[in-house]
Structures are given as C-alpha cells and as structure tokens.
C-alpha cells in the first residue's frame, strides 16, 4: 500500500489550525470556509436527542445473566447495525487507566510546539503522520482539524520514523491501548456474526491478520463554527471503527440519519462504534456504513482517538452467500481485493459515501 507519487500532487499551503487560533483567533481563512450547503450548522440536541443512538451493553453479550439477556442484546445490536450503522458500547472491559493513558499522551502530542510535530509529517498522498489527510488539490477546502495517524498492525504497515519519541510513553501507551481495542473489535465482530445467523468466527476466519490503524483528531475552538467543518462528511472504509472522545470535549460527531444531521454525545466511559464500508459489502447492504462528519465549537476544543479495524489487504471481499438471494436480495457489490479498495479510499478526498462506488454493481 504505497502512497501516491508526491510529485504528482499539488496541495498548496495548509495552515495549521492550532497556530491559526494563536495568531489570528478571530479570523477564518478562505480555504476553510465552506459553501452554504456544506457548513457545519449546529443541530439542537433537544430537537434530535442523542439518547436515540443505540447503546449496547457488552457484559450482557459476553457474560449474560440469562439467555434472554443475551438474545435481547443481540437483537439490539442487529437493529443498531441495520437502522443506524452506529452504536455506543458500555461495559466494554477496557480499563479506565488504559483509556486515560492514551488520552493523556494524545493531548500532550498536540500541545507540543509545531516544530516538534513537524518531525512526523503527513506527506501529500499519504495517511500516516501529522497534518491533514485526503487533500489532493490546491483549491480543496480544508477541515478545521489537526490529525496524527499511524499504522499499528500488522508491523508491515508501520512507518517507524513517524512514531514519536515525545511525549514520553506515547508508543507504550498506544501499544497497550491498541491491543485492548483489537480484542474489543474481535468480540464485536463475533456478536455481529451471531446477529446475522452466521458462525461466530466467520469474520475472524475471513479477515486473516487484520489491519489496524489509529488516527488522533484535534479540533481547536473556531471563532466562526458555522462557516467550517471539523471533518468532511464520509463513511469509513474499515470493517469497524472505534471512537474514543476525551473527557470534557464538546459535542462534535454528527451522523446522517433520515437526511438529518444528528449529534452524538458519547456516554461516560462508552466507546462509539460504527459500521464501515467493508461490513456493508459483506452483508450485501443489510448492515450499512453511515455518512458522518465533525463540527466545531466556538469556545471548546475536542480530541478524539479513532481506531480503524479491517481485513488484511490480501483478502478478497464480496457479499457473503448467505445474505444474497437472486430473487429477493440480489448481489449489490462486486468482488474486489481489500488492498485495492483501501488504496482507492485513501487516494480520494472525503466525499460522503462516494468511495463505495468502487464496489457497487450499477444496474
């Protein structure tokens, strides 16, 4: 999975948003200002209550008190994947200290001087390092966000030069956190398989040595949050995505539900899970990846740590036979190599669910 040729991409000047608010706290440069129909209009939590986002209690799946508990939670999981593509998971079993430790070093990384962070640059056409990803032209609008992304597993996708020596314990904390998130993803995929009436090991056996990457997103306050987006609308190319939002962060995640942007406020100690394009294809559209975006806040910052979990790049992906019926549910997606799709995904700007056109069978 090599990057695009650096010389072929002209991305223009990309201003660091943290530096912008230091030097020009009340000015939003033109390149960040969105067209009126794109802007991050703040949606009222009273109008669209965040509590409607499904909540899955993992303890009732892994250690059910009764058979009914297990069955009810599996049904909730199925409905969450089919109707929302998003859910929050509580009682996930990851120790509070592990979560706090990764949050601490992520925050410390973004607080370092720009010169230090620039030692780990995200080069044009790549998705690892510090900067902004998915930028492919000089006139492309920018997100009000700084990113730091790393390949985690397998070791072959890592770029050791981008793993920072500062802050202290960054690598150690990320390794520990990523191992716990990997275990969580395996559990969730097992229960998702059960919810589909499949063998619980179906995804584990299919994915091979799964690919795992992490991206840390820092959204500084913005003097005109109604003019910008923290992160452009998109679906994820992964199988599952796990989002951790730091304590005291403002509401920022919005998902597209029934043509309305609905805000998601993570519950205390919960993790937000979303279905990626890969699961949509494998389930022949039964479980759908959902378009989502991030908005900003005038006064408060937001920090998220996002893990992407996907099949090995060598795996061939196609709808599972059990979920295809020539008469009632014909095959909606072609067979493809997951590495090819991943390359396609990272080689294009974020644009809703457009990346999935790569796999769709157009009638």
- Which residues, other chains included, contact 259 with Cβ-Cβ below 8 Å and sequence gap of 6+? none
- Which residues, other chains included, contact 49 with Cβ-Cβ below 8 Å and sequence gap of 6+? none
Phi, psi of 51 (to 5 degrees): -70, -10
56, 185 in Cβ contact below 8 A?
no
76, 54 in Cβ contact below 8 A?
yes
Residue 256: both structure tokens together: 């597209």
Residue 342: both structure tokens together: 């991943």
The pLDDT, as a whole number, for residue 207 is: 96
Q: What is the spatial distance between Cα 126 and Cα 123, in angstroms, rounded to a whole number? A: 6
Q: Between the CA of residue 269 and those of 77, 217, 219, 296, 302, what are the distances in Å? A: 19, 19, 20, 22, 16
Q: What does pTM read for this prediction?
A: 0.92
Residue 355: both structure tokens together: 């990346």
Residue linked to tokens 């919960």? 270
Q: What is the spatial distance between Cα 275 and Cα 23, in angstroms, rounded to a whole number? A: 39
Q: Which H or E run includes 204? A: helix 202-207
- Which residues, other chains included, contact 207 with Cβ-Cβ below 8 Å and sequence gap of 6+? 189, 239, 310, 311, 312, 315
| Collapsed DSSP state (helix, strand, coil) of residue 191 | helix
Q: Is 16 exposed, middle or buried (0-12, 13-18, 19+ CB in 10 A)?
A: middle
The pLDDT, as a whole number, for residue 5 is: 42
Nearest to 233 by CA among 77, 3, 35, 25: 35
Phi, psi of 151 (to 5 degrees): -75, 135
Q: What is the spatial distance between Cα 306 and Cα 271, in angstroms, rounded to a whole number? A: 10
Q: Is 70 exposed, middle or buried (0-12, 13-18, 19+ CB in 10 A)?
A: middle
Residue 335: both structure tokens together: 């067979």
Which residue segments constitute the domains of the chain, with CATH numbers given? 45-355 (2.60.120.330)
Residue 137: both structure tokens together: 């032209």
Q: What's the distance, Cα to Cα, between the start and end of the chain in Å?
A: 31
Query: What is the CA angle 231-172-252, rounded to 5?
Result: 20
Nearest to 356 by CA among 261, 273, 236: 236
Strand partners, 241: 274, 308
Return per-residue pLDDT of the chain as tens, 363 residues: 344 444 466 766 778 889 888 888 788 888 888 887 776 544 555 555 444 789 999 999 987 677 788 899 999 999 999 999 999 999 999 999 999 999 999 999 999 999 999 999 988 778 889 988 777 767 788 889 999 999 999 999 999 999 999 999 999 999 999 999 999 999 999 999 999 999 999 999 999 999 999 999 999 999 988 899 999 898 998 999 999 998 878 888 999 988 888 899 888 889 999 999 999 999 999 999 999 999 999 999 999 999 999 999 999 999 999 999 988 889 999 999 999 888 888 776 676 777 788 888 876
Q: What is the spatial distance between Cα 44 and Cα 156, in angstroms, rounded to a whole number? A: 44
């Amino acid at each position: 999975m090599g990057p695009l040729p650096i010389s072929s991409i002209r991305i223009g000047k990309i201003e660091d948003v943290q530096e912008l608010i230091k030097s020009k706290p009340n000015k939003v440069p033109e390149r960040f200002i969105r067209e009126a129909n794109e802007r991050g209009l703040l949606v009222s939590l009273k109008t669209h209550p965040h509590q409607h986002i499904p909540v899955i209690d993992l303890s009732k799946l892994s250690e059910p008190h009764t058979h009914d508990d297990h069955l009810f939670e599996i049904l909730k999981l199925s409905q969450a994947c089919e109707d929302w593509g998003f859910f929050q998971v509580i009682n996930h079993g990851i120790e509070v200290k592990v979560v706090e430790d990764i949050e601490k070093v992520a925050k410390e990384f973004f607080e370092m001087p720009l010169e230090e962070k620039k030692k780990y640059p995200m080069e044009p056409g790549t998705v690892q390092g510090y900067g902004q990803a998915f930028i492919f032209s000089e006139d492309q609008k920018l997100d009000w966000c700084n990113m730091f992304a790393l390949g985690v597993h397998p070791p072959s996708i890592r770029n050791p030069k981008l793993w920072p020596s500062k802050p202290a314990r960054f690598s150690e904390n990320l390794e520990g956190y990523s191992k716990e998130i990997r275990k969580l993803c395996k559990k969730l995929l097992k229960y998702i398989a059960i919810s589909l009436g499949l063998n619980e090991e179906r995804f584990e056996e299919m994915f091979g040595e799964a690919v795992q990457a992490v991206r840390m997103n820092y959204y500084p306050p913005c003097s005109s949050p109604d003019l910008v987006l923290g992160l452009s609308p998109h679906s994820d190319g992964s199988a599952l995505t796990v989002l951790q939002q730091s304590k005291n962060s403002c509401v920022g995640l919005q998902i597209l539900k029934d043509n309305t942007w609905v805000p998601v406020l993570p519950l205390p100690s919960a993790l937000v899970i979303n279905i990626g394009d890969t699961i949509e294809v494998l389930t022949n559209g039964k479980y759908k990846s959902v378009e989502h975006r991030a908005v900003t806040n005038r006064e408060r910052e937001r920090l998220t740590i996002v893990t992407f979990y996907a099949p090995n790049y060598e795996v061939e992906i196609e709808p599972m036979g059990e979920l295809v019926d020539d008469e009632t549910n014909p095959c909606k997606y072609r067979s493809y190599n997951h590495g090819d799709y991943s390359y396609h995904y990272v080689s294009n700007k974020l644009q809703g669910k457009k990346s999935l056109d790569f796999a769709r069978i157009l009638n």
